[in-house]
Amino acid sequence: MQDKSNHPRVGLGIIIENSEGKILIGKRKNIHAPYYSIPGGHLELGETFEAGAIRETKEETNLDIIDPKVICITNNLETYRREGLHYISRVLLAKDYSGELKIMEPGKYGEFSWVEPHNLPLPHFDASRMSVECYLEKKFYKN
């Protein structure tokens, strides 16, 4: 269980797009169950957004993303109202990757699938949903 903080935390979300225009979504098992979500996690001290996205993606999916780019920021107030945890997420897009997709954290994810971004599975984690909306609408900020 995460401790509640008096200050927002920095989250990372990674939208990985395949050659068919589908994005990678995982079904969560832990505290965010039963929600679906793009891969992501926390920015570590001293880490760039890009390095954090590369690390989180590898830790969760075994994929090596190449040249991720920051595409938007979300202010995740729905999670704050529900769980008391306030995150500001930096969202990165990766269109190039290598490796074999695997569940590397079976306590966190039950499955991964490639989905049409206009048809996200439900229920969907708010930070992930807002990230995909920004990606589709080409907006930089959403709250």
Q: Are 85 and 2 in contact (CB under 8 A)?
A: yes
Q: Please give the structure tokens belonging to residue 87.
A: 């995150």
Q: Please give the structure tokens belonging to residue 21.
A: 């225009």
Per-residue model confidence as pLDDT tens for the chain (143 residues): 455 678 999 999 999 999 999 999 999 997 778 999 999 999 999 999 999 999 999 999 999 999 999 999 999 999 899 889 999 999 999 999 999 999 999 999 999 999 999 999 999 999 999 999 999 999 999 88
Q: Which amino acid is at 122?
A: L
Secondary structure (3-state) at 58? helix
Residues in the chain: 143
For residue 34, whether the previous peptide bond is cis, meaning omega lies within 30 degrees of 0, is yes
9-142 maps to CATH 3.90.79.10: yes
**What is the distance between the alpha carbons of residues 71 and 91, in angstroms, rounded to a whole number?**
6
Name the burial class of residue 128, with classes exposed (0-12), middle (13-18) and buried (19+) by CB atoms within 10 angstroms of its CB: buried
Parse the chain into domains and list their residue ranges: 9-142
Q: Which residue has the tokens 């780019």?
A: 69
Predicted pLDDT at 143? 83
Verdict on whether the full-model pTM lies above 0.75: yes
Predicted pLDDT at 102? 98
Instruction: Tell me, rounded to whole angstroms, the distance of Cα 64 from its chain centroid.
Output: 15
